[in-house]
Structure 1
């Protein structure tokens, strides 16, 4: 009987194994730079061409290799980092598997030049597809240079999956930035197509490295983090809630000097900022964690970016409380954001408050009936109740501080909105600041919906953010910004399918980061459908010729960042979802904000317009607009039952 199982030859197995380690040029650069770091280098220079597909070079001034070690390093599973399987459970080096160099050699033309201090000449090897094509000696400085040419030349199936030169260069740039942040005592130089893209001083000061990479302006907007608990030490920097990016590119987590991607760490960062963040974007966070190597497992994947913690809850607590402490230690509230300063007690209570206000399966936009105001009944106006949490419902008032300042009053955009909206808000800025305006009814405050006996009576305003109203025996709290946001959104949705644009008399120049620039240029048809017309004016600069008609020029950068954030999360976005995302942004940035004082007449008109929308209970982002309290729930709050 014929055997159908075949033992693969060495060349084939090497190419297969290379796919786990070398997915793209960026992973190749990562492996070579980490080897240089393990070699004790104090200066590392990286040069690429054509996004790394045609050429990559990594040069370091580390300890170098002997001729014997140079030949051994191209053999799979040959390593100087570990000696036995027990060493895997206490890894202190970045590399240890002995797969990187042979994997790279198997799918490229590799050149190795290396010299130790005690050697007169350097060892020079030329490899073709993993096989040694030339072996000689030459003069060179102490250290190692790895040159990679024609990556994936012998595996065309893998090469066709590479992205554009800009995308691949961006991935390499991002990787080098994170490596530099992980090792501020090393001088990094990154040269892309002959131009120096990144250079750090290597003086050991993390703040200086951050300034070298992101600029001094950002370095002034961040705060130091230092925290110790559960045998874990954390230090680094976090940014103000206003310092945002459309992706997690500004969030770098380092564990024992190793760059890691771990959802627990990202979730801790996200929850630490909690309600302080605007509606889209990720805050800056550069965190170094030091812990016992035996408490982590880095042998999860050949790329070594995934990591397992033996105590994930402890990791979460340290990161969460470390960031909270850093933000709360600032002397003045305005040092961290425009939102009011909150105590650590309030920070914890925010979680309870948001969980009450957070839309559940029964309160999402898609779950509400497509009813018109004339068909409203008692049942359709009753909000789903937060069962079992009513005793904590009062904490929603502490949430007011968290949402204050998230939306801006866009008077210019409002003046272009519908006449109905103008009628409601044309006196907000003129009369709203008058000391007595908020408490004196100018018209009958009773709202009666046609064809229905339901009556809403606005009673006043709390924290210049929430409208308090009464209907029957029930009490209602309405988020004024979210309500106006819903009104504006429905108005926009009733317009033509394609987003209307406004031509700019003079072009506006907008700075974007390299990652977003790649999206903006490669997915230009998406932005064109949303009303944006632009061209590239520089490496990180757009020349804007047209923008959506209701968008202020000062909001261009923020709106582009919001769309890019969605594209980073969803590689194949639905056209309708993209339109919704853009309209939601316009609705938010043109709506009244927390802090605008409304009088009773304005509250009445706002509620009346709100209940002429299709989904008056949730804003376009899916958050609740109204909270309802029955007499029974109020009695429980006052312990009358």
Structure 2
């Protein structure tokens, strides 16, 4: 094997592969250049998820005739002068690699003008070589057009994701920069259609309102905390607003959007028991720290950074979030005078017919009563309901001992199989809304829902595109007498994001499990003995009555012999 020196063209392509991973990397580098140039108006246009065209236009300082030529040269930058600058970086870009890397794997056109010139300059670059250079008429600022990305690196082009996913990634990135820059106007078009329109506003909360909508904005609490030179500012959600993933968590350090497991863990740990398992808060948090105490040059795309004291930074974030949350918490007053001793529900025997009358307190109970007659003896054991423990566990006696039934897990299994059966039949019972429900989504979530509008009908929803990021829900599915709401649609989008697939049908089992969970009785819901009896009937009619859709047990049986061993009545 002979060692050879690589030619400069191949070296550039290898280096470009480190910096430019896909269309979203191009957009990131161009937005950062626009921000570094002081732009207040950044217009992004993409075609076919950025595969065919990426165009970024800004009103920044622009480049003169000399700089427009140098900007596509490797390691040509206006942001650092010597090695000491590497440890005190205050700009988003600094290595002089972005435009050179983009130029080596695409066709690149740049038009730019500074305030010092009456005319602008235009260059066209192919495969890293300037083919055209001329003076043109233009406004102050820069326009960069990237076409035919990865045309000369087919292996990289082959592994690009589908158009929708590439568009989602770009939309998500633009959102991150728009959120942290309230004084700047961001606009994003995909295939000529507006995806994001975030005008310049006075503060970050105004940006959040424009991008995420009022339903999220009203559930956020401000965060401001400072300790030993580290400042944390932004917003985090009340415990009542959570998502199934971390897609609506944004972290910034000195204005740079980053991905950080350290900051994410610190945020999550601050909530402690306020969060349910596998739920995550919404957060937009910005850290200001001495540039000398961070290293932004540890990752080719600069999406990760290194803190000189990770433990202390984590502590500051954790303390700041706790401080913000504590300001919203209060201890409710309890009326002791009205308290009475809790009594067991009336004992009843489960081996009865549905025709028998029970006290009914909800429409869901009436639905249960109308569903079935007598359960088959061989499948339905004789159970005697003893009562309810902590408004969560049903106690029932049988011939061999007694059973403990998790009321939520049990009804979740019943609802799951019922909904699955309806889905398989092609007919899910739904109900028209007298007044349609308006929902406003983030631009990224809007892309997902718009792409799935025909599919969501199969789940019993009738949703109409209302323009922009808004939708009207005209009908929703009904299960066990309970009507689904817009929260279910958000759950479906969360599930699709978590599974990294495109179509709701690809994850129908997970979606149905979520819908069943959302509309099942919860821990703390007190149910009547009649409802317990009907629930047990339906549970034992299920194909799998022993676990909920997520794998948790629905019922635990303890035999008399086990009890006797525990109490040492037998050896």
Give the TM-score of the pair, scaled to structure 2: 0.75
CA contact (8 A) 2:87 2:291 kept: yes
Q: Aligned partners of 2:527, 2:392: CA distance in 1, in Å?
A: 10
Whether the 8 Å contact between 1:167 and 1:518 is mirrored in structure 2 is: no
Give the structure 2 partner of residue 567 of structure 1: 496
Structure 1 stretches lacking a partner, 5+ long: 334-339, 342-408, 425-448, 632-641
SS for the counterpart of 1:41 is coil
1:95-106 paired onto structure 2 within 5 Å: 95-106=93-104
SS at match of 2:67: helix
Query: Equivalences for 1:321-340 in 2 at 5 Å?
Result: 321-330=319-328
Give the secondary structure class of the aligned counterpart of 2:247: helix
Compared CA separation, residues 625 and 229, structure 1 to 2 (3 A):
farther
The answer to whether the 8 A contact 1:501-1:549 is kept is no
1:501 pairs, out of 410, 427, 432, with 427
* Alpha-carbon distance in 2 for matches of 1:497, 1:191: 36
Is 1:65 aligned with 2:63? yes
Residue 157 of structure 1: how far off its partner (Å):
3.7
SS in structure 2 opposite 1:37? helix
Pairing partner for 1:159 from 157, 160, 172: 157
Where do 1:285-364 residues align within 5 Å? 285-330=283-328
Asked if the contact 1:246–1:564 (Cα under 8 Å) also holds between the matched residues in 2, the reply is no
Superposed, 1:460-471 pairs within 5 Å as 461-462=389-390, 465-467=391-393
Q: Which of residues 412, 430, 437 in structure 2 aligns to 1:485?
A: 412
Describe the superposition over 1:69-96 as per-residue Cα deviations: whole angstroms up to 9, x where unpaired: 2222211122222234443333221112
Cα 1:34–1:497, aligned 2, differ >3 Å: closer, same or farther? closer
Question: Offset of 1:181 from its aligned partner?
Answer: 1.6
Residue aligned with 1:64, SS: coil
* Residue 229 (structure 2) pairs with residue 228 (structure 1): no
Indicate how the Cα distance of structure 1 residues 300 and 145 shifts in structure 2: closer, same or farther if over 3 A, else same.
same
Question: Which segment drifts farther, 202-211 or 520-529?
Answer: 520-529
Shift of 1:525: 9.9
Q: Report the 3-state secondary structure (helix = DSSP H, G, I; strand = E; otherwise coil) of the residue aligned with 1:502.
A: coil
Distance of 1:150 and 1:162 partners within structure 2: 13
Please list the CA deviations of residues 265-291 of structure 1 after superposition, one character each: whole Å capped at 9, or x if unmatched: 233333444554567764321111112
Q: Deviations over 1:152-172 (max 9, x none)?
A: 333344334334444333322
CA contact (8 A) 2:368 2:534 kept: no
Paired with 1:52 and 1:410, the residues of 2 have a C-alpha distance of 56
Is the contact made by 2:364 and 2:482 (CA closer than 8 Å) also made in structure 1?
no
Query: Quick check: 1:298–1:308 contact (8 Å CA) kept in 2?
Result: yes
2:484 equivalent to 1:555: yes
Q: How many Å separate the matches in 1 of 2:505 and 2:186?
A: 44
Partner in structure 2 of residue 33 of structure 1? 31
* TM-superposed deviation, 1:489: 4.3
Indicate if the aligned counterparts of 2:185 and 2:199 stay in contact, CA closer than 8 A: yes
Residue in structure 2 matched with residue 445 of structure 1 by the alignment: none
| Distance (whole Å) between structure 2 residues aligned to residue 499 and residue 322 of structure 1 | 52
Distance, in Å, in 2 between the alignment partners of 1:417 and 1:455 is 19
TM-superposed CA distance for 1:178, in Å, is: 0.8
Q: Structure 1 residues 210, 540: CA separation in 2 closer, same or farther (over 3 Å shift)?
A: closer
Provide the C-alpha distance between the structure 1 equivalents of 2:60 and 2:142, rounded to a whole number of angstroms. 7
Give the match for residue 517 of structure 2: 588
1:595 positional shift: 4.7
Q: Is the 8 A contact 2:368 2:480 kept in 1?
A: no
- Answering whether residue 1 of structure 2 is matched by residue 6 of structure 1, we say no
2: CA distance, partners of 1:169 / 1:410 = 49
Does residue 175 of structure 2 align to residue 249 of structure 1?
no
**Structure 1 residues 19 and 536, CA gap change in structure 2 (3 angstroms):** farther
The answer to whether the aligner puts 1:621 opposite 2:547 as a matched pair is no
Give the equivalent residue in structure 2 for 1:128: 126
Q: Distance in 1 between matches of 2:34 and 2:501?
A: 38
User: In structure 2, how many angstroms separate the alpha carbons of the residues matched to 1:128 and 1:573?
Assistant: 34
Structure 2 Cα separation of the partners of residues 614 and 140 of structure 1: 70
Decide whether aligned partners of structure 1 residues 7 and 545 sit closer, same or farther in structure 2, where only a CA change above 3 A counts: farther
Shift of 1:503: 6.0
CA distance in 1, matches of 2:304, 2:373: 53
Q: Once the two structures are superposed, what CA deviation does each residue of 1:38-57 show, in whole Å capped at 9, x if it has no partner? A: 12223323233343333332
Q: 1:37, 1:46 → 2: CA distance?
A: 13
- 1:355 is matched with none
Structure 1 residues 94, 580: closer, same or farther in 2, change over 3 A? same
Moved more, 212-221 or 35-44: 212-221
Match of 2:76 in 1: 78
Q: Which residue of 2 aligns with 1:262?
A: 260
Alignment of 1:158-237 (within 5 A): 158-229=156-227, 231-237=229-235
User: C-alpha distance in 2, partners of 1:595/1:215?
Assistant: 31
After superposition, give the CA deviation of every residue in 1:298-331 in whole Å (9 maximum; x if it has no partner).
2222111122333333333333343333233237
What SS does the corresponding residue of 2:286 show, helix, strand or coil? strand
Aligned CA distance change for structure 1 residues 412 and 126 (closer, same or farther; 3 Å): farther
> Alpha carbons of 1:615 and 1:297: their partners in 2 closer, same or farther (altered >3 Å)?
farther
Contact 1:503 1:545 in 2 (8 A): no
- Distance (whole Å) between structure 2 residues aligned to residue 257 and residue 223 of structure 1: 20
Q: Decide whether aligned partners of structure 1 residues 120 and 422 sit closer, same or farther in structure 2, where only a CA change above 3 A counts.
A: farther
Q: Matches of residues 402-413 of structure 1 in structure 2 within 5 Å? A: none
Between the aligned partners of 1:197 and 1:254, the Cα distance in structure 2 is 23
Return 193-202 or 134-143, whichever deviates more: 193-202
Q: Which residue of 1 aligns with 2:567?
A: none
Residues in 2 aligned to 1:62 and 1:573: alpha-carbon distance in whole angstroms: 37
TM-score (structure 1 length as normaliser)? 0.68
Given that 1:498 and 1:530 are in contact with CA atoms closer than 8 Å, whether structure 2 keeps it comes out as: no
Q: Distance in 1 between matches of 2:208 and 2:381?
A: 60
1:110 Cα deviation after fit: 1.6
Alpha-carbon distance, 1:516 to partner? 4.2
Deviation per CA, 1:357-406: give whole Å up to 9, x if none.
xxxxxxxxxxxxxxxxxxxxxxxxxxxxxxxxxxxxxxxxxxxxxxxxxx
The 8 Å contact of residues 257 and 288 in structure 1, kept in 2 or not, is answered as yes
